[in-house]
Amino acid sequence: MQKFTSVTNLFSEIKFGLETQYYLIQVTGEVSKITTIQKGNIFFDIKDENHTVSCFAINQHIIKFKHPLKEGTNFNITGKLTIFKGSKINILVYGAEYIDIGLLEKSHNELFLKLQKEGYFLQDHKKQIKNSHNAIGLITAKQGAVIHDIINRLEERFPKKIFLYNSQMQGLDSIQSILTAIHYFNLNFINKIDAILLARGGGSTEDLNIFNSEKLVKGIFNSKIPIISAIGHTKDKTLTDLVADFSTSTPTSAAEYLSKITRKDYHNSLNSLKLTLRINQNNILLFYSKNLKSQLQRLINFKNHILLNQNNILNLSTRIFNTIQKILFHYQIKIEKNQQKIIPPTQNLTNKLNQISFFKNKSTLNINNLIQKKLDNINYFNSLNNNNNINSTLQKGYSILTNENNTPITSIKSLKQKEKYFIHLKDGKKEIIVAD
């Protein structure tokens, strides 16, 4: 009867066979997917154009490597084959010798030089990022932690409206997904958002190699909306970083860049502006208060001047009238005395009476003309007085503030809180109370 073995025994036999037959192997390939674990030990892959083999190296061997392992570079690996739990074959690495630049990095450099020559990375082509719409477009995976990091940082500083496009961010299909997202925002959000944020967290060189795609570089370059690249946690810049209008090392720092001012900065600026407005308001009120007081004083002086001249004219008119009356009375007495002394013929008496009547009429006419002239002057000054009195001022659109005693208020310093005042306009007055 055939004897069956257990899985554990089979695993042990395979492990023993591998380690016995392949106790010392030498492999040449490109290093990728380096992962450091506890105590400085590392897992990584070594690959060529067709296949990939997993490797494991402990710290005591790693410190003897002449060159540190770097993704995208070629190494000669020395070690033995083994198998770990999970039935995965690994090379247990004893030594690693650096050869030259790897295929991936070589391809990347050739594409970089080509695109650089074509002008895709020139600073002159960078679009300015403004803060006029207070909104951004975000291209990232909805289920990732990136979106939460961005939202949290924006909330801490100064919030922006976010329009999310859920895109694939890993694998070959992600390139077309990102290009579709860029086209979507350019088609629907021109003049509605400040920028497009292309964000992803960390990853291996192979995972992030999609951001070195020539198609993606050209898609970002041709976008009408500025694009910010935030491909996180990598020291090496991708071609996406170089062509983007702005790039940061992490999505969080991109959020900080988009919210250049914090809530505190905004409120401080607002308070400063309020203080400046209050000072300017007080200065304007003080200026117009002084100006109004000066104009009011000029009106009072002019009114007093008119009143003084009016009194002088009236006094002069009275004096002239009295003088004329005295002259007429004097001549009348004289005429009466001469009439008594003379015993003239009738004709002579008639002539004298006619002369007296003529002189009287002429004198009366001259006196009336003089009086009319003086009265015209009085009316002229009265009209000037009417044009400059308070009612006339109100008719012109001005207003006057008085207290309960009808005394004009000429300074804002005279105002007292919760006291009554009256504002006079052309069609009446209105009671007001100072609140603050």
The CATH number of residue 26's host domain is: 2.40.50.140
Per DSSP, the three-state class of 68 is: coil
The domain of 398 spans 391-436
Instruction: Identify the domain boundary among 101, 127, 156.
Output: 101
Given the structure tokens 């190699």, which residue do they identify? 209
Residues 96 and 132 in one domain: no
Domain termination site, one of 101, 132, 155: 101
> Contact 237/205 with Cβ under 8 angstroms?
no
Are 307 and 401 found together in one domain? no
Q: Does the residue 70 lie in any domain?
A: yes
Q: Could you tell me if 121 and 198 lie in one domain?
A: yes
What confidence score (pLDDT) does residue 40 get?
Answer: 87
Phi/psi at 428 (5° precision): 140, -170
- The CA–CA distances, whole Å, from 304 to 291, 309, 370, 381, 389 equal 20, 9, 26, 11, 11
pLDDT at 87: 65
Domain membership of residue 367 (yes or no) is yes
Q: List CB contacts of 329: < 8 A, sequence separation 6 or more.
A: none
383 falls within a domain: yes
Residue 50 resides in a domain: yes
The answer to whether 132 and 191 are in contact (CB under 8 A) is no
Inter-residue contact 275 to 268 (CB < 8 Å): no
Strands (E), 85-185: 88-101, 135-140, 161-166
What residues pair up with 64 in beta bridges, in sequence order? none
Sign of CA dihedral 171, 177, 181, 182: positive
In a shared domain, residues 309 and 165? no
Q: If residue 273 lies in a helix (H) or strand (E), which one and from where to where?
A: helix 263-341
Q: Structure tokens of 27? A: 């492999």
Residues making up the chain, counted from first to last: 436
How far the first Cα of the chain sits from its last, in Å, is 108
Structure tokens at 189: 């959000």
Angle formed by the axes of helices 263-341 and 346-387, to 10°? 170
- Whether residues 238 and 169 share a domain: the answer is yes
**Which pLDDT score, from 0 to 100, does residue 404 have?**
81
| Domain-embedded: residue 2 | no
Residues 167 and 197: beta-carbon distance below 8 Å: no
The CATH number assigned to the domain holding 208 equals 3.40.50.261
Q: Which of 250, 222, 221 is nearest to 235 (CA)?
A: 250
**What's the total number of domains in the chain?**
4
Residue whose pair of structure tokens reads 């109100």 in the numeric block: 394
Long-range contacts of 59-64 (CB under 8 A, 24+ apart): 61/93, 61/94, 61/95, 64/95
Q: How far apart are CA 94 and CA 86, in angstroms?
A: 22
Q: Are residues 256 and 111 part of one domain?
A: yes
Rounded distance between C-alpha atoms, residue 31 and residue 102, angstroms:
8
Domain boundary among 357, 372, 388: 388
How many helices and strands (H and E) does the chain possess?
12, 13
- The pLDDT value recorded for residue 367 is 82
Residue 297 inside a domain? The answer is yes
Other C-beta atoms closer than 10 Å to the C-beta of 100 total 9
Helix (H, G, I), strand (E, B) or coil at 282: helix
The verdict on 249 and 354 lying in the same domain is no
Q: How far is CA 224 from CA 13, 32, 68, 182, in A?
A: 63, 36, 42, 10
Whole-angstrom distance, CA of residue 301 vs CA of residue 428: 25
Q: Is 336 exposed, middle or buried (0-12, 13-18, 19+ CB in 10 A)?
A: exposed
Say if residue 395 is in the same domain as residue 384: no
Q: Are 199 and 150 in contact (CB under 8 A)?
A: yes
Q: Are 407 and 289 in contact (CB under 8 A)?
A: no
The b-or-e profile of 135-173 (16+ CB within 10 A means b, else e) is ebbbbbbeebebbebbbebbeebbebebbbbebbbeeee
115 and 241 co-located in one domain: yes
User: Are β-strands 246-248 and 400-402 bridged in parallel, bridged antiparallel, or unpaired?
Assistant: unpaired
**Cα 146 from Cα 165, distance rounded (Å):** 13
Note whether 353 and 379 are same-domain residues.
yes
Residue 157 inside a domain? The answer is yes
Q: With a cut of 70, list the residues of the chain below it in pLDDT.
A: 1-2, 86-87, 100-104, 132-133, 157-159, 204-206, 233-236, 260-270, 272, 339-348, 382-390, 436
Closest CA to 125 of 222, 193, 212, 196: 222
- Decide if 1 is inside a domain: no
**Tens digit of pLDDT for each residue in 353-374?**
888 888 778 878 888 888 888 8
Both 207 and 275 in a single domain? no
Are residues 248 and 137 located together in one domain of the fold?
A: yes
